[in-house]
Structure 1
Amino acid sequence: GVLRGLPAIVWFGFQSWVGAGAINSCMNILFGVSNLPVVYAFFTLLQVALAIKGFEGIKWLENISCVFIIAILIYMLYVVNTQFASEIGDVFSGIKGTWGMPFWAATTSFLGIYSTMIINASDYSRNATDDIKPVKAASIYTIAILPVTLFMGLIGLLVTAATGNSDPVVVFSTTMGSKFLTIVTLLFIAFAQVTTNVLNNIVPPAYVLMESFKMKWTHATVLVGILSACVMPWKLVTDESAAGLNFFTQFYSAFLGPIFAVMAVDYFILRKKKLDINDMYDKQGCFKGINWAAVIAIIFGSLCSLLVMQLSWYVSLIPTGVAYYLLMKMMPASKPFCKGTIFEK
């Protein structure tokens, strides 16, 4: 939970600064007023206030926003493809693709970002009703993540190729050709940060704080907002920080990959997809304490992945999975945690 919560706080601050920048650009266009630090402070407070409403409020925010976001993404893709058609053609005509290290390093960064949501699926699924079966749940996750991810990735690629600038706020505030469309697009960028942050970057660390320090939901969400400002997102968005932010993503992937590997081996191989939820959540039951087989396997997998940082996610999976399997089988301290597994005696 801690390894997942820390990156979420960093991304909350980063995306809040991006959204505040979009709102600040709108204010500058409409009223000639610009004060990004103040806008950022109010924008962060707004997101925390929305999260305080709880998961039911978050659900309705996401339901309403999804249609608007998809529609604007389609329009943004259309504008970029028509307005920068010649520039895009010139750039991509001379590119020679490679399936080497740059490609796999890029996918490692991608997995590092999205693995945070994979690992924290339980933060959302705990609110699902009984009729949400595995196939339906997987379909919901796919529909929720895949289209938007592809749209945003493609738009980012095309915009960067055409203008040489990867900052969407700067690009769309200067190239739309219409004040109305510019404002709509910038508001969309801000709105997209809200929907992402409230669900993906506030909920997980807030749950961690609640579990670790017995905090109330309200206090936990406020603390997440404060901590997100402490990471100084205004430093993270600079060109000088781009390499460091990419390194940070690859670094925490070195830990999230092993966690994912332990979860996958435990669920699919050792427990054959059958869990006793009552046992798992009984703090005085058979799973009381720490499963050192899992902890040691995660540490071992993380050390392996740090050897090839650019491929940290991929490098960690097999060593972690094998280590966890063998430790669960042979380590005496892991016997209490073998209940329900193929090693139960």
Structure 2
Amino acid sequence: MSANLKGYIQKETHIQHIANVDESLTPKSDKDRKVGPLSYIFMWIGDGVNLGNMTLGASLVVAGVATLNIFQTFSAAIIAIGIISTIFALNDRLGYRTGIPYVVQLRMSFGLKGSVISSLLRGIPAIVWYGFQSWIGGTALNEIAKIITGGAFDNVAICFIVLQLVQIGLSLYGFHAIKWVETLVSIVIILALLYAFGILLTSYRDVIVEKWVHTEGSWGLPFFSFIMMFMGNYAAIFLSAADYSRELKSGISDTKRGFLYFVPIFIAYGLTLTVGAMLASATGISNPVKAFAVVVDNSYITFFVSTFIVIGAIGVNMVANIIPPTYVITLLTKLKFKAAVTITGLLALCSFPWVLVQDSSAKGLGIFILVYSAFLGPIVSILLIEYYILRKQKVNISDLYKEDGPFAGYNPAAILAMFIGAGAAFIEVDLAWIIGFVVAGIAYLSLMKFAFKDSKFKKGTIFETIDQDMAEKKFEIY
């Protein structure tokens, strides 16, 4: 066991005894960490190369003209990736050093009961998106089946169920499955993207240069909105960074871990953004699936695109939408990991994702995304301030597992700051994440310092000393 890990936790058997939780939620020791740096890079590449992120690149082209030129596009992307990688490396540090998951990390700020609210704000949306991604993948799988059977088979519901069962089966193996699935996904999709890039570069070079590369673009609100949109794609993932870093082999410095996020995200988004923008510029069509059909005009295009969508859906779900809600279910129900991950898949199956793709409910989906996203910036802000400023990176991990310990109950300062930040986030939707992040951070610092004088959550923080000093001065006066 590494020196860092020894400094933070007691023996795993002791923690599990005092906590009465499933083994999957206890701190990961060195010997249990199976994901190396290369596998970690492939994991994040596999998460990033998907149709949704390609659409992000295509969204830069409006009415046939790009809102940002190629230099502005990649400038915004590099800024966003730099911020994402920094927050990832900062928020994953506690999980990496101690081996605890996100749902336990939340207790440090919100308390045992308060963490239920904040963990559900990460878990429930992930389950919905798990179902939604699977439904899109099932639709694509149905297209593949139609091609193979010559149209004899056509049943999206069955394909959806089959794909979901496959994902449940894979997820039963935890990060062992994620490691090899994401490696396969990243290689296959990168090859597909490079193929598409080659066709676009050779056949549509002039129109792409005119409509995207040499367009005037903007360094104003569209530029900053794209940065926020980019960050929004990772807001939920870097919030639960501890769930991933606890699986990474020990001995990697904070700086190197930052590069383990920056490099794969840059590769994945670099390719998907470029191909998406090139497709939209070449065809004037923002839907990548339809744009592909125009660019690659042959009988195999539907099969190619459908395979891309299926593999991409599995890749995104394996990283972003399965593990976080599984840990939440394990924590709340005391079930074993395999039972919890199966329930996660069944809940996604029963989340009625087909309703989300109907025109009548598109507005409701937008409201749903807006509501839960508003809480993500505030929560990560509170976690970072708690760990780095208030506790100076010193936390007694065993206390986080004690049901009657110092973190029992809920921290009113954290709950209130989260809602204050979320409320402020709605002031300007395009900048919601950064507004909620800043406002919640200021609110949390202020509330912890000036409010709730007798709060036990000040114990072990810089404000515990302040309260003691004030009490001593009051005693001296009287």
- TM bin (shorter chain): 0.7 to 0.9
Alpha-carbon distance change, 251 to 94 in structure 1, aligned in 2, over 3 angstroms = farther
What secondary structure, in the 3-state scheme, does the structure 1 residue paired with 2:395 have?
A: coil
Q: Could you tell me how far apart the structure 2 residues matched to 1:106 and 1:14 are?
A: 24
Whether 2:344 is the aligned partner of 1:224: answer yes
Q: Could you tell me how far apart the structure 2 residues matched to 1:298 and 1:23 are?
A: 40
Matches within 5 A, 1:174-213: 175-179=295-299, 183-213=303-333
Contact 1:88 1:162 in 2 (8 A): yes
1:275 — aligned with what? 395
What amino acid sits opposite 1:319 in the alignment?
V
- CA displacement at 1:123 relative to structure 2: 1.2
- CA displacement at 1:174 relative to structure 2: 5.7
Larger radius of gyration: 2
2:19 — aligned with what? none
Whether 2:245 is the aligned partner of 1:115: answer no
Contact 2:276 2:288 in 1 (8 A): yes
Uncovered stretches (5+) of structure 2, i.e. residues with no partner: 1-118, 466-478
Whether 2:266 is the aligned partner of 1:146: answer yes
- CA displacement at 1:225 relative to structure 2: 2.5
Alpha-carbon distance change, 161 to 316 in structure 1, aligned in 2, over 3 angstroms = same
Q: More displaced, 91-100 or 286-295?
A: 91-100
Alpha-carbon distance change, 27 to 87 in structure 1, aligned in 2, over 3 angstroms = farther
2:288 — aligned with what? 168
TM-score, normalising length: structure 1 = 0.87
2:476 — aligned with what? none
2:353 — aligned with what? 233
Q: Could you tell me how far apart the structure 2 residues matched to 1:10 and 1:83 are?
A: 39
Alpha-carbon distance change, 105 to 155 in structure 1, aligned in 2, over 3 angstroms = same
**CA displacement, residues 226-261 of structure 1 (integer Å, 9 cap, x when unaligned):** 332444333434577666545543332211110011
1:325 — aligned with what? 445
Number of residue pairs aligned between Structure 1 and Structure 2: 345
Choose which of 185, 191, 208 in structure 2 pairs with 1:88. Answer: 208
Alpha-carbon distance change, 201 to 103 in structure 1, aligned in 2, over 3 angstroms = same
Contact 1:112 1:250 in 2 (8 A): no
Whether 2:190 is the aligned partner of 1:70: answer yes
Percent sequence identity is 36
What amino acid sits opposite 2:139 in the alignment?
G
- CA displacement at 1:75 relative to structure 2: 2.4
Contact 1:109 1:250 in 2 (8 A): no
Alpha-carbon distance change, 162 to 252 in structure 1, aligned in 2, over 3 angstroms = farther
Q: Could you tell me how far apart the structure 1 residues matched to 2:127 and 2:267 are?
A: 25
2:431 — aligned with what? 311
Q: Could you tell me how far apart the structure 1 residues matched to 2:200 and 2:358 are?
A: 23
- CA displacement at 1:194 relative to structure 2: 0.6
Q: More displaced, 23-32 or 258-267?
A: 23-32
Q: Could you tell me how far apart the structure 2 residues matched to 1:239 and 1:173 are?
A: 23
TM-score, normalising length: structure 2 = 0.65
When the two chains are superposed, the root-mean-square deviation of aligned CA atoms in Å is 2.8
Q: Which has the higher helix share?
A: 1
**CA displacement, residues 287-333 of structure 1 (integer Å, 9 cap, x when unaligned):** 22211111111011111112222321121122211111111112336
What amino acid sits opposite 2:344 in the alignment?
V
Whether 2:122 is the aligned partner of 1:4: answer yes
Q: Could you tell me how far apart the structure 2 residues matched to 1:72 and 1:296 are?
A: 47
Q: More displaced, 188-197 or 227-236?
A: 227-236
What amino acid sits opposite 2:120 in the alignment?
V
What amino acid sits opposite 1:139 in the alignment?
F
Q: Could you tell me how far apart the structure 1 residues matched to 2:350 and 2:424 are?
A: 31
Contact 1:22 1:189 in 2 (8 A): yes
2:136 — aligned with what? 18
